[in-house]
């Protein structure tokens, strides 16, 4: 419980620009007396704020990983920070419940004013297999994952003899031709171009970077001439841009892409599919009993929620009316100004003074195209090429929160001009023990003779067991397969192919062995299935190989 | 299969100093004609080499994460690199089998000369609970994990009201008073001292850094006067050094430490226990049919293995006789010289020329004590304080492989003098779904009223179910508990306490829900257990909450 002692408690949910800047402006605007009587608290998943414009440069290594983030504590020094997940908002009781961390007891915070700045979540539901197999591009962890993935497939391609698999490894797909997708493919393409110098066996022509866009041009946020310029720059650097196409499905082996006009679909084999998916409202936002406009909380031009005194919303999760009549777009520059207005108005409410209206309508738009090129539209002026690129770097560096980080990024940029790109692959992302996977109709789940690394259970769809080219059985929902090779340590005795689009749950070998040893039901089930197939089950008694992560240094 | 075409194939196992420098020296020593006829291949878990002396500085953030590693490809440009795990070495057939990656088919490499440079693995078996709850300190991922853990407990302590839990969060234990342990506690202590400036609620006196050493002084590798100096410096900076103690057991709540003289044991409550555990031979090394000396492969002074022509061993996994009669210690300076001798002798064997004997006996020893202090013993001379510290930095920077990295580290050191320490916590380490946990006799596994986050199964030991202070049942090996709160989404209806030292397997809530939904046996087992306890099982039908990692931005 947050102690109060007669203090006013302002609780801010969300550690993005909107939330953290609201706390920062509150700190600036409060008098010394108010600081003693008003408690400002932020709840955030992470203890840092991500500066999104620099995220693509983390892929290429132009900026060091930690330099595109700033600790929230250094920005909002007077505020208290809870680095926790939020479980529930109770508007009636004016409480927020946080998930437990070390000690399995939740924390409940009380508030007088609640600022909701929760942003949006990724919308995976539109495309089958996207959640399971695509890399999103929103958080710092995503950029790191993508960078390691890119190096990882280069390492694999360098030793892969099969031309088809080699092509699959060297194909990189980014879905979405807006700012985020364009900056992502530009940096990824730049990085690969530089990195392959360390891989003598891989030629530049083998690298295929594909940008998928559903509209008839990229960068719909900008004027057409700049978009065409950007397209020419990217294509000149080797990026393949597919317009008027839609991502239909993603699996571990590639993406299915549909031409919007002809409705024809093509499979692009790839091990690396990035999605800058459209966003969906945050679950906590939809749980609130207030009016939503396309998933965003309806607020007045004062940033308060009508009929809910003490409730405020800022940033991407708020539908903020602008003086020009349109709703504020979900950008950092708008979030920042909303935060300022919101901080002022909360204090005005406490003080009983006059509130201010949100009066910002945007300064301009900028998109980086990778090395030494960018496009920009500022106060109606259009810029492109190296001028826009210098402008891009100047503007964003000056906007970056934290003087120490500005120096570090400046030095990163300088060193990037002088030193080679880094190609280390830091594999700290564990493969999860139990995951869901998606397979297209006709896709091989595993092949006869393969190494048996997983146990599968069909969630949705149907699969065929094929021995020496002949279908010997069909597996439907709720049925288990793949256990024989796992238990016997022999290669797969059959192939399994998805008959229709199929979702499966897979359990890794070590997780399965632990479960079979320690959960009696698992063992009985698998033994039953194996006996029904006439297989010896004595191998189930073999030792329990606990995963021993990071132990061999071979 | 590695293609040969009459070429001589030299295969090097291990991406540490020994292996990579062997490849590098082979590249330097081969003539142009030989380069065309000799194929050099390295197999390594990672595509980079870790420069161990700088690993402690990754904890404190003095050096950027990626700067203490160098890509192997940039060091050994002519060699082929397989970034894979090794599954089997077959000395008879002269083949090495590698684990599969994307495609579930293993790779088999043939060789004419095999250089084993696999190093050692961590020896967790000595202390119960160490594998499950202690953070090792050997690889890059370990340093990152420790840094994030340190920031994470500061974040928790900043909002924790319970004084006992607060103390547990702010206690940091490092086991082992050799080089590695001393450098680790020194950097950790420095980091915490700087970092807490951003946590106004935490006082310096609350931070407790404990170094455990089983001998009667730290740094047994150095002379006594230097060790005493080091001890004074560390203690002056607030490190608590416990001598003549042994780590007896580790759990999620703390460490049990035994006084070697009195045999009395004390529990030190802590959330952060680091181990610089003694090493054990690599499993692949023990699988080889050749003579081992305390787990190390016996080689001649030419680095070849007697009676196995074409088999060589270098680095920490080899017992290399020195001209002074002792066996080479496991340090980088020795590995490097062994690599040079080994490369020369492999080529001599191929050329039919004379082999060279390994003639190095060591230059000196250096240990950093954190900010501006170190101890060193070089050619018999002793150094300490800032002189030794400047010497330490100069020597190691000059030894660091890669000119670009040397520049980057130099700049890191410069900026560290000017800018504040970073306190961002990058939480990319997923909690594993299924893990083993250790509990001391008498330790609470969970409490009545706790949030139900896991299902447990007893692997070894015994636990008591306690309702309102009274033991209502005892759970033994192979029995499952903790399912009720998991299924009902209600708080724990009972406490469970380890009766003796107990190991359990725990399954996380999302993993359990997936298993219960898709593996029929799990569901039946849990339903059976619940019915036997008279609990309603209908809640098992509730929705399958798939883990949706990274989605909320609260």
Q: Answer whether B414 touches A (CB < 8 Å).
A: no
To the nearest whole Å, the CA of B230 is away from the closest chain A CA by 31
Q: What is the pLDDT of residues A327-385, one digit of tens each?
A: 999 888 999 999 999 999 999 999 999 999 998 888 888 999 998 999 999 988 999 99
Where residue A84 falls among pLDDT bands split at 50, 70, 90?
A: very high
Q: Is residue A261 within 8 Å of A238, Cβ to Cβ?
A: no
Q: Is the pLDDT of residue A400 over 50?
A: yes
3-state helix, strand, coil in chain B (%, to 5): 35, 25, 40
CA distance B472 to B463: 11
Contact partners, residue B531, CB within 8 Å, separation at least 6: B537
Backbone φ, ψ for residue B538 (5° rounding)? -65, -25
How far is A72 from chain B, CA to nearest CA, in Å?
A: 9
Flag the least confident range among A424-428, B192-196, B336-340.
Answer: A424-428
Q: Is the CB of A539 inside 8 Å of chain B's CB atoms?
A: no
Q: What pLDDT digit, counting tens, does each position of A59-75 carry?
A: 888 898 888 899 999 99
Residue with the larger pLDDT of the pair A122 and B21: B21
- pLDDT of the residue at A546: 37
Check residue A247 and give left, alpha or beta (phi > 0: left; psi -120 to 50: alpha).
beta
A427 shares contact with chain B (CB less than 8 Å): yes
With CB atoms and an 8 Å threshold, state whether A511 touches B104: no
Instruction: Establish if B75 touches chain A: CB-CB under 8 angstroms.
Output: no
Is residue A553 less than 8 Å (CB to CB) from chain B? Answer: yes
**Pairing between strand B495-498 and B272-275?**
unpaired
Indicate the DSSP class of residue A322.
Answer: P
Shortest distance between the Cα of A405 and any Cα of chain B, in A, equals 9
Q: Which fold has domain A434-541?
A: Jelly Rolls (2.60.120)
Q: Is B378 on the interface with A (CB under 8 A)?
A: no
Mean pLDDT of A247-268: 94
Mean per-residue pLDDT for B247-257?
93
Contacts of A514 in chain B (CB under 8 A): 434, 436, 505
pLDDT of residue A418: 86
Best-predicted range by mean pLDDT (B50-54, B233-237, B493-497, B523-527): B233-237
Residues in a beta bridge with A257:
A247, A266
Q: State the pLDDT at residue A549.
A: 36
Q: Which among B143, B461, B553 is the top mutation candidate for probing chain A, defined by the most A β-carbons within 10 Å of its own β-carbon?
A: B553
Report the residue count for chain B: 554
Query: 3-class SS at B429?
Result: coil
Minimal C-alpha gap between B411 and chain A (Å): 9
* CATH 2.60.120.10 domain locations along chain B: 434-541
**DSSP letter string, A359-420:** -----EEEEE-STT-EEEEETTEEEEHHHHHHHHHHHHHHHSS-HHHHHHHHHHHHHHHHSP
A61: left (phi over 0), alpha (psi -120 to 50) or beta: left
Nearest to B288 by CA among B266, B265, B312: B312
For the record, the structure tokens of A266 come out as 């093509």
> Comparing A325 with B521, which gets the higher pLDDT?
A325
Q: Among partner residues B104, B449, B550, which is closest to A446 by beta-carbon distance?
A: B104
Is the CB of A4 inside 8 Å of chain B's CB atoms? no
Strands B311-313 and B113-116: parallel
What is the least distance, in Å, from the CA of B85 to any CA of chain A?
A: 6
Query: For B153-252, where are the E strands, in sequence order?
Result: 171-175, 208-212, 239-242, 245-251
- B175 CB near a chain A CB, below 8 Å? no
Phi, psi of B49 (to 5 degrees): -105, 140
Is the Cβ of A416 closer than 8 Å to some Cβ of chain B? no
Q: Which of residues 30 through 49 in chain B touch A, CB cutoff 8 A?
A: 43-48
Percent of chain A with pLDDT over 90: 64
| pLDDT value for A439 | 92
Q: How far is B218 from chain A (nearest CA, A)?
A: 26
Q: Do B121 and A552 touch (CB under 8 A)?
A: yes
A111, A10 contact by CB (below 8 A): yes
**Confidence at residue A542, expressed as pLDDT on a 0 to 100 scale:** 45
Q: Is the CB of A511 less than 8 angstroms away from the CB of B119?
A: no
In chain B, residues with a C-beta closer than 8 Å to the C-beta of A148 are none
A-chain residues near B448 (CB < 8 A): none
Distance CA A93, CA B355 (A): 83
Chain B nearest-CA residue for A74: B198
Query: Cβ–Cβ contacts within 10 Å for residue A499, how many?
Result: 17
Does residue B65 sit at the A interface (CB-CB below 8 Å)? yes
pLDDT at B440 over 50: yes
Helix locations, A210-293, DSSP H: 224-236, 283-286
Residues of A in contact with B15 (CB under 8 A): 553-554
A-B CB pairs within 8 A amount to 316
Q: Give the mean model confidence (pLDDT) for residues B45-74.
A: 90
Q: Is A381 on the interface with B (CB under 8 A)?
A: no
pLDDT band per the 50, 70, 90 thresholds, residue B186: very high
Lowest average pLDDT, out of A164-168, A197-201, B413-417, B524-528, goes to B524-528
List every span in chain A annotated with CATH 3.50.50.100. 130-277+366-418
The CA distance from A360 to B163, in Å, is 47
Which whole number is the average pLDDT over B173-202? 94
Tell me the average pLDDT of chain A: 89
Does A407 contact B at CB distance below 8 Å? Answer: yes
Percent of chain B whose predicted confidence (pLDDT) is above 70: 94
The burial of B554, by beta-carbon neighbours within 10 Å (0-12 exposed, 13-18 middle, 19 or more buried), is given as buried
ipTM for this model: 0.87
pLDDT of B364 above 80: yes
Residue written as token pair 């939330």: A19
Q: Is B167 at the interface with chain A, CB within 8 A? A: no
pLDDT for A31: 95
Residues with Cβ within 8 Å of A265's Cβ and at least 6 positions away in sequence, in order, are: A248, A256, A257, A258, A259
CB contact under 8 A, A451 and B100: yes
**pLDDT score recorded for residue A540:** 53
Of A389, A50, A366, A371, the closest CA to residue A187 belongs to: A371
**Residue B553's pLDDT band (cuts 50, 70, 90):** very low
pLDDT tens per residue, range B384-400: 999 999 999 999 999 88
Q: What is the pLDDT of residue A5?
A: 60
Residue-averaged pLDDT of chain B: 89
What pLDDT was estimated at residue A78?
A: 92
CB contact under 8 A, A429 and B430: yes
Helix, strand, or coil (residue A251): strand
B548 to chain A: which residues are within 8 Å by CB? 131
User: What is the rounded average pLDDT of the residues A236-260?
Assistant: 94
Give residues 108 to 137 of B whose Cβ lies within 8 Å of A: 118-122, 131, 136
pLDDT band at A547 (very low <50, low <70, confident <90, very high): very low
According to CATH, where is 3.50.50.60 located in chain B?
Answer: 8-45+84-122+280-351
Q: Shortest Cα distance from A239 to chain B (angstroms)?
A: 25
Look up the CATH number of domain A8-45+84-121+280-351: 3.50.50.60
Residue among A105, A144, A159 whose CB faces B451 most closely: A105
Q: Which residue of B has its CA nearest to A41?
A: B159
Hey, is the C-beta of B257 within 8 angstroms of any chain A C-beta? no
- pLDDT score at B497: 94
pLDDT at A486: 78
> Do B14 and A554 count as a contact with CB atoms less than 8 A apart?
yes
| Whole-angstrom distance, CA of residue B427 vs CA of residue A47 | 10
Beta bridge partners of B480: B457
For residue A53, the 8-state DSSP code is: G
- In sequence order, which residues have a C-beta less than 8 Å from that of residue A417 and are 6 or more positions away? none
Provide the b/e sequence for A173-201 (b: ≥16 CB within 10 Å).
bbbbbbbbbbbbbbbbbbbbbbbbebbee
Which helix (H) or strand (E) segment holds residue B152: the answer is: helix B140-159
Number of separate helices (H) and strands (E) present in chain A: 16, 34
Give the mean model confidence (pLDDT) for residues B472-482. 89
Instruction: Say which of B70, B104, B457 has its CB closest to residue A518.
Output: B457
pLDDT at A250 over 80: yes
Asked if the C-beta of A543 comes within 8 angstroms of chain B's C-beta atoms, the answer is no
- Please state, as a whole number, how many other Cβ atoms lie within 10 Å of the Cβ of residue A358: 24
Predicted pLDDT at A90? 96
Domain A130-277+366-418 has CATH 3.50.50.100: yes
* % pLDDT > 90, chain B: 64
Q: Check if the beta carbon of residue B445 is closer than 8 Å to that of residue B463.
A: yes
The closest CB to that of B514, out of A422, A447, A505, belongs to A505
- At B217, list the tokens: 């002084």
Q: What is the pLDDT of residue B488?
A: 76
Contacts of A44 in chain B (CB under 8 A): 554
Q: What is the pLDDT of residue A526?
A: 74
Chain B hits for A69, CB-CB cut-off 8 Å, are 424, 426
Whether residue A376 contacts residue A179, with contact meaning beta carbons closer than 8 Å, is answered with no
Least reliable range by pLDDT among A220-224, A481-485, B423-427, B546-550: B546-550
Q: Does B523 touch chain A (CB under 8 A)?
A: yes
Phi, psi (deg, nearest 5) at residue A145: -65, -45
> Of chain A residues 467-496, which have a CB less than 8 A from chain B?
478, 480, 492
What stretches of B137-198 adopt beta strand conformation (E)? 171-175
The whole-number pLDDT of residue B431 equals: 67
Q: Which residues of A touch B162 (CB under 8 A)?
A: 103
Name which residue leads in pLDDT, B26 or A2: B26
Confidence of residue B535 (pLDDT cuts 50, 70, 90): low
**CATH, domain B8-45+84-122+280-351, list 3.40.605.10, 3.40.50.150, 3.40.190.10, 3.50.50.60:** 3.50.50.60
Q: Which of B70, B422, B434 sits opposite A433 (nearest CB)?
A: B434
Nearest chain A alpha carbon to B283: A552
**Are the beta carbons of B434 and A47 separated by less than 8 Å?**
no
Average of per-residue pLDDT across A280-293: 94
């Amino acid at each position: 419980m947050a102690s109060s002692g007669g203090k006013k408690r302002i609780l801010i949910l969300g550690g993005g620009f909107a939330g953290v800047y609201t706390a920062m402006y509150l700190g600036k605007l409060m008098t010394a007396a108010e600081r003693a009587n008003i408690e400002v608290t932020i709840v955030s998943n992470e203890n840092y704020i991500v500066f999104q414009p620099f995220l693509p440069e983390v892929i290429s290594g132009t900026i060091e990983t930690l330099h595109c983030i700033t600790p929230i504590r250094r920005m909002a020094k007077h505020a208290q920070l809870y680095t926790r997940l939020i479980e529930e908002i109770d508007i009636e009781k004016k409480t927020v419940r946080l998930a437990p961390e070390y000690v399995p007891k939740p924390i409940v915070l009380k508030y007088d004013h609640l600022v909701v700045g929760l942003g949006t979540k990724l919308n995976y539901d539109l495309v089958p297999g996207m959640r399971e197999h695509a890399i999103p591009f929103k958080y710092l962890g995503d950029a790191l994952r993508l960078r390691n993935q890119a190096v990882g497939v280069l390492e694999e391609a360098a030793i892969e003899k099969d031309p088809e698999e080699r092509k699959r490894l060297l194909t990189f797909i980014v879905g979405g031709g807006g700012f985020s997708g364009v900056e992502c493919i530009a940096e990824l393409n730049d990085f690969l171009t530089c990195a392959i110098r360390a891989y003598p066996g891989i030629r530049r022509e083998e690298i295929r970077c594909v940008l998928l866009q559903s509209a008839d041009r990229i960068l719909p946020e900008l004027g057409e001439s700049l978009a065409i310029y950007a397209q020419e720059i990217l294509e000149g650097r080797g990026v393949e841009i597919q317009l008027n196409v839609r991502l239909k499905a993603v699996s571990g082996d590639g993406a299915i892409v549909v031409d919007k006009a002809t409705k024809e679909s093509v499979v692009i084999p790839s091990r690396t599919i990035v999605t800058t998916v459209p966003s969906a409202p945050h679950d906590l936002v939809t749980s609130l009993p207030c009016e939503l406009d396309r998933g965003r909380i309806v607020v007045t031009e004062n940033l308060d929620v009508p009929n809910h005194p003490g409730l405020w919303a800022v940033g991407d999760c708020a539908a903020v009316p602008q003086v020009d009549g349109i709703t504020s777009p979900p950008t950092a520059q708008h979030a920042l100004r909303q935060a300022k207005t919101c901080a002022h108005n909360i204090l005005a409410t406490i003080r009983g003074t006059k509130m201010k209206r949100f009066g910002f309508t945007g300064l301009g738009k900028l998109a980086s195209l990778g090395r030494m090129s960018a496009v920009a539209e500022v106060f109606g002026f259009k810029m492109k090429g190296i001028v826009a690129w210098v402008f891009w770097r100047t503007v964003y560096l000056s906007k970056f929160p934290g003087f120490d980080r500005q120096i570090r990024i400046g030095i990163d940029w300088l060193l990037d001009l002088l030193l080679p790109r880094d190609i280390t692959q830091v594999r700290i992302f564990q493969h999860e023990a139990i995951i869901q996977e998606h397979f297209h109709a006709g896709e091989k789940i595993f092949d006869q003779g393969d190494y048996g690394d997983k146990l599968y259970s069909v969630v949705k769809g149907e699969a065929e067991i094929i021995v020496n080219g002949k279908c010997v059985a069909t597996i439907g929902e709720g049925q288990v397969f793949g256990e024989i090779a796992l238990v016997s340590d022999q290669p797969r005795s059959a192939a399994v192919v998805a008959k229709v689009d199929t979702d499966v749950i897979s359990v890794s070998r070590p997780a399965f062995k632990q479960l079979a040893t320690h959960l009696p039901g698992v063992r009985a089930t698998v033994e039953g299935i194996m006996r029904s197939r006439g297989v010896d089950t004595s191998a189930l008694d073999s030792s329990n190989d606990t995963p021993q992560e990071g132990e061999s240094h071979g």
